[in-house]
């Protein structure tokens, strides 16, 4: 057995136990405090969130969020986390893994009913067969030792989350 196989086997053995399925009543769209907490947390980390109305076209809403002259990449998120404004994106849902980091403007679409309160809940929702995924929270940011903040150095300069 090579080192890679051994490491992956150890990670799988230590995986967070999957919680039992939630009752269907818990899958109803979440409004109020949890949605509000997510939107506030997302804004605090530099992202922008909007709730798509039933009469709004996803295309029109995404177009209104895009900055003119800059290409946007629209991807699907599996679920969102209220405590930190993060959205989980699984690589299986992307055309290419580079879609997440190559985009200048990233628009992530996630169901309102898929907002969870904490990262503890979020980790339990990561699919067991997932080979790669990201928790995205706000635009890409980095700072050097002199504390010069750079937005978009290793990823998107803007992050918009459309909740539907």
Question: Tell me, what's the pLDDT at 16?
Answer: 60
Domain limits, the chain = 28-163
| Coil/strand/helix, residue 159 | strand
Top-confidence residue, 33 or 155:
33
Among candidate residues 51, 68, 70, 59, the one with its CA nearest the CA of residue 112: 51
Q: What is the mean pLDDT of residues 54-82?
A: 91
Distance CA 85, CA 46 (A): 10
Question: Tell me, what's the pLDDT at 149?
Answer: 73
Q: Could you tell me the pLDDT band of residue 152, with boundaries at 50, 70 and 90?
A: confident
8 A C-beta contact, residue 107 and residue 74: yes
Query: Looking at the whole model, is its pTM more than 0.85?
Result: no
**Strands across the sheet with 158-163, in order?**
48-51, 158-163, 105-110, 72-76
CATH superfamily of 28-163: NagB/RpiA/CoA transferase-like (3.40.50.10420)
**111-125 pLDDT, tens digit each:** 999 999 999 999 999
Mean per-residue pLDDT of the chain: 85
**4-45 pLDDT, tens digit each:** 888 888 877 876 655 554 444 444 444 468 999 999 999 999
Question: Tell me, what's the pLDDT at 61?
Answer: 94
Query: CB under 8 Å to 93, separation ≥6 — which residues?
Result: 75, 76, 78
């Amino acid at each position: 057995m090579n080192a890679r196989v051994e490491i992956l086997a150890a990670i799988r053995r230590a995986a967070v136990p999957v919680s039992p399925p939630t009752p269907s009543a818990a899958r109803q769209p979440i409004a109020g405090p949890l949605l509000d907490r997510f939107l506030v947390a997302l804004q605090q980390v530099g992202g922008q969130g909007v709730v798509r109305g039933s009469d709004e076209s996803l295309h029109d809403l995404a177009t209104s969020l895009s900055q003119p002259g800059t290409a946007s990449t629209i991807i699907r998120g599996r679920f969102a986390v209220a405590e930190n404004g993060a959205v989980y994106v699984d690589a299986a849902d992307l055309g290419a893994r580079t879609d997440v980091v190559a985009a200048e403007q990233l628009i992530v679409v996630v169901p309102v009913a898929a907002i969870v309160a904490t990262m503890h809940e979020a980790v339990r929702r990561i699919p067991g067969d997932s080979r790669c995924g990201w928790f995205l929270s706000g635009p890409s940011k980095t700072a050097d030792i002199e504390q010069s903040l750079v937005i978009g150095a290793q990823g998107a300069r803007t992050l918009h989350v459309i909740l539907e």
